[in-house]
Amino acid sequence: MCGRFTLFAKLEELKTEFELKEANSLPSSYNIAPSQSILIISQDAETYGKHLHLAHWGLIPSWTKNPHEAPKPINARFETLTEKPYYKKSFQRQRCLIPTTGFYEWTSSHGTKQPYFFYMKDYKPFALAGIYDYWPGGVETAEIVSATIITTDANSLLKPYHSRMPVIIEPHNYGHWLDPENKNTEELMAMRNNFV
């Protein structure tokens, strides 16, 4: 599960870490919540350029008739990405990186919830695996870009706090994950094990 995360890296840090030529910034936040705008990095199929842009956090597939009534999942289980129609198309061709500086997990004890913050030791931004889609809009409704964070079984560090964790993509795999022409499911699925 990943229901809250942060992004307080400077724009120049993001451009360096993710090798971005152009980038739109988003105000720093220590508590990004579902249904808010998040930054995602996608890759252009023609130029292979990486793009940083805004998306709604909560996936709305392009075939949805009414985005206001449809479910908008904030997380997708890695294990079912190739099976569930809600995620299948996006996993095949519309994978993205979701830049972050850390995420929260909670434990419950005696009716109270305690948040724990997970981040890289050097505080550098890193990437969560995501998928995205475009809802085309209508006569009175604008196009909506939306995304969801992919989760997997928690590793030994996170297991005491939660049974699930977001999939973290290592820098040397950014290009492989983003490549819309990469249809090697085995290679893509193996990326989730790097931090487990």
Share the mean pLDDT of the chain. 90
Cα 78 to its chain centre, rounded Å, is 12
Quote the domain boundaries for residue 145.
Answer: 5-195
As for how many domains the chain has, the answer is 1
Split at pLDDT 50, 70, 90, the class of 195 is: low
Residue 59 contacts residue 35 (beta carbons within 8 Å): no
Split at pLDDT 50, 70, 90, the class of 12 is: confident
Asked if 22 is an active-site residue, the reply is: no
CA distances from 99 to 2, 82, 118 (A): 14, 23, 14
Quick one: DSSP state of residue 170? P
Which of residues 110 and 190 earns the better pLDDT score? 190
Give 59's contacts (C-beta < 8 A, 6+ positions apart). Answer: 72, 73, 74, 76, 86, 87, 90, 131, 132, 133, 146, 147, 148
pTM: 0.93
Place of tokens 């152009």: 22
**CA nearest neighbour of 72 among 57, 87, 54:** 57
Please report, as a single letter, which amino acid is at residue 98. Answer: I
Identify the H or E element spanning 115.
strand 112-118
Split at pLDDT 50, 70, 90, the class of 27 is: confident
pLDDT given at position 11: 87
**CATH label of the domain that carries residue 174:** 3.90.1680.10
Asked if 105 is an active-site residue, the reply is: yes
Active-site pick, 12, 105, 143, 181? 105
